[in-house]
Amino acid sequence: MESVAAAVDRGRLRLAAVGIETAGLDARVLYEHAAGFDRAALLARGREPVEPLAAQRYERLLGERARRIPLAYITGEREFWSLRLRVDRRVLVPRPETETLVEAALERLGPGARVADVGTGSGAIVIALARELGAGAFFGTDRSAAAIEVARANAAANGLAGRIEFFEGDLLDPLRGLPGLLDALVSNPPYIPTAEIDGLQVEVRDFEPRAALDGGSDGLSLIARIIAGAPPLLRRGGWLLLEVGAGQADAVRGLLLRSGRFDDISTRRDLAGIERVVAARRAH
């Protein structure tokens, strides 16, 4: 009978054969999910035989991953900012580079801040900020009612159901009742140029919500709308923080300058060295 360690290694080879770069990690995570193991249990029980029910589950999960379904959609969860978040095909999978946006916001905000997350998706950003900042008022918007359901469930699962308000609506529209009251407006908007979507990794192109990816012909259409609509919602001195795509920071800086409403414009690089966040302060 196949051992646990052998099953995981076989899974690694199967996933590697279809071009999955993280085959070893994915095979291990899928076995843990199938067997109900944590990392320590997997290491301790590597020489034991695979239990029949775990074997069946593992084969099914390997088949899904081999079809390039994202790992997070298979397991139904993703870690972000040390938070455990539920994710499925209704929302974009939270990415490590988005933690750069959380870091940039925390550098500029303190307890009591009023913060809105535009295009909240799974709620990852606003949930992380609400947990770190403690007291304050927190809002999340998304045009997808299905995404709002996921975000609300994630807030509840992380003990923040009563501290974050989520609204369905297009970009800034649900926030019109908060004129000049926000200390920060944060967003990871769609920023992939339409023509580039077909060239994305299969997991992203074929499974993640296209509306959460497509930023229009130049990738900047939604970013431009947020920049135009943000000043009336921010208090004077309030912050607009945007995640942007590789190579877009200069163009976004230009949009902010041309608006005439922002100063103290800066960027923050992610761990790969990419200018990932553009931050600007409402000047007047």
Query: What pLDDT does 40 receive?
Result: 78
104 pLDDT more than 70: yes
Q: What is the pLDDT of residues 47-76, one digit of tens each?
A: 878 888 988 999 999 999 999 999 999 999
User: Residue 4: pLDDT band by 50, 70, 90 thresholds?
Assistant: confident
Q: How far is CA 34 from CA 31, 70, 75, in A?
A: 5, 16, 9
Q: Strand 182-187 and strand 234-243: pairing?
A: parallel
User: Residue 3: pLDDT band by 50, 70, 90 thresholds?
Assistant: confident
Query: What pLDDT does 94 receive?
Result: 96
User: What are the residue ranges spanned by the domains of the chain?
Assistant: 4-67, 78-282
Q: Using a pLDDT cut of 70, give the percent of the chain over it.
A: 98
How far is residue 118's CA from residue 126's CA, in Å, rounded to a whole number? 9
Helix ranges restricted to H, 91-144: 99-108, 124-133
Q: Strand 83-86 and strand 77-80: pairing?
A: antiparallel
For helices 23-35 and 52-66, what crossing angle results, to 10°? 140
176 pLDDT more than 70: yes
- Please give the mean pLDDT across all residues of the chain: 93
Q: How far is CA 142 from CA 64, 190, 204, 243, in A?
A: 29, 12, 20, 16
215 pLDDT more than 70: yes
Topology, domain 78-282: Rossmann fold (3.40.50)
39 pLDDT more than 80: no
Query: What pLDDT does 11 receive?
Result: 94
The mean per-residue pLDDT over the stretch 240-254 comes to 97
Query: What pLDDT does 81 receive?
Result: 95
The mean per-residue pLDDT over the stretch 250-261 comes to 96
277 pLDDT more than 80: yes
Task: Identify the H or E element spanning 71.
Answer: helix 71-75
Q: What is the pLDDT of residues 75-97, one digit of tens each?
A: 999 999 999 999 999 999 999 99
User: Residue 182: pLDDT band by 50, 70, 90 thresholds?
Assistant: very high
Q: What is the pLDDT of residues 106-156, one digit of tens each?
A: 999 998 999 999 999 999 999 999 999 988 999 999 999 999 999 999 999
Query: What pLDDT does 280 receive?
Result: 97
Which of 167-181, 230-244, 262-276 has the weakest average pLDDT? 167-181
- Please, are residues 237 and 274 in contact by the beta-carbon 8 Å criterion? no
46 pLDDT more than 70: no
Q: HSE on the CB side for 233, CA within 13 Å?
A: 25
47 contacts: CB under 8 Å, gap ≥ 6:
3, 4, 5
